[in-house]
Amino acid sequence: MPSDQKPGTESSGPRHVAIIMDGNGRWAQARGRPRLFGHHAGAKRVREVVEACPSLGIKYLTIFAFSTENWKRTQVEVAGLMSLFRRYIAKETRALHARGVRVRFIGDRVRLDAKLIALMDTLEEQTCENDSVHLTIALNYGGRDEVARATRRLARDVAEGRLKPEEVDEETLPRYLDTRVLPDPDLVIRTSGEARISNFLLWQSAYSEYEFIDTLWPDFTADELARLCQSYGSRDRRFGAVKA
């Protein structure tokens, strides 16, 4: 779904913020601890950020928890992350629901274990009526993989006569993406000083504003998010147009 904010009509803060939560490993290493220690500290930050969203006018928050490329990490780190996701979901479900947070997952579930998928399904179902904040967790997600999976579904619809090739355009294709019910992100933040997008929301972020900040994810705070939202408010988004 394209951003519903048009030039000149946007409210001052971002409505949809997407975050690449980077720097957990370096944060842990700087303390002489294993990388997983950093991921656990990073998970704690997610709660603080979700809680800050309503007062900052953020209706949609999308976070990059595990990429299609992260399987290349050591078996210990991958297993530790999967266990962290299971524990996070089991532990946070009640608090997320109590705060009226609607949770969705994007990404390919095929490589995830059955227990994790069951927890994801339950969290999505339990929170499906909530509307205070829409939290989307990208898990085994890659932008190119998402576009490839979407194209496969689209091609099937064409082959089976449900869609004509000439009907495929910028409005049709996003209806096949994992994010089909979400607006495009207004602001994408990446922590830890790396200035790249690493296969995150490739289609959806075509017109997003970007913030690359030095803070390592476990040190990221609600105050820093507020500062970035404020600075977003002073940007001039023209979506390719020229101001009259």
- Nearest-approach distance from CB 63 to ligand FPP, in angstroms: 6
Catalytic site residue from 4, 70, 157, 178? 70
Q: Which of residues 56-85 bind ligand FPP (CB under 6 A)?
A: 63, 65, 70, 84-85
Stretch that binds ligand FPP, among 41-49, 97-105, 149-157, 169-177 (CB under 6 A): 41-49
Q: Which of residues 167-196 bind ligand FPP (CB under 6 A)?
A: 192
Show binding-site residues.
Answer: 22-27, 35, 39, 67-69, 71, 73, 190, 196-198, 209
Which CB atom, from 5 or from 136, has the smaller least distance to ligand FPP?
A: 136
Cβ-count burial 71-109 (b if 16+ within 10 Å, e if not): eeeeeebeebbbebbbebbeebbeebbebebbbbbbbbe
- Nearest-approach distance from CB 50 to ligand FPP, in angstroms: 10
- Nearest-approach distance from CB 206 to ligand FPP, in angstroms: 24
Find the binder of ligand FPP among 36, 43, 101, 177 (CB under 6 A). Answer: 43
Which CB atom, from 76 or from 206, has the smaller least distance to ligand FPP?
A: 76
Q: Is 4 annotated as catalytic?
A: no
**Residue window 21-40: x/- pattern of binding to ligand FPP, with contact defined by CB under 6 A:** xxxxxx--------x---x-
- When CB distances to ligand FPP are compared, the closest residue is 25
Q: Which of residues 217-236 bind ligand FPP (CB under 6 A)?
A: 217
Residue of 67, 51, 52, 42 whose CA lies nearest to 145: 67
Q: Which of residues 98-137 bind ligand FPP (CB under 6 A)?
A: 137
Q: Is 169 annotated as catalytic?
A: no
Instruction: For residue 67, list its beta bridge partners.
Output: 141
Query: Which residues are annotated as catalytic?
Result: 22, 70
Where do contacts with ligand FPP occur on this chain (CB under 6 A)? 21-26, 35, 39, 42-43, 46, 63, 65, 70, 84-85, 88, 137, 192, 217
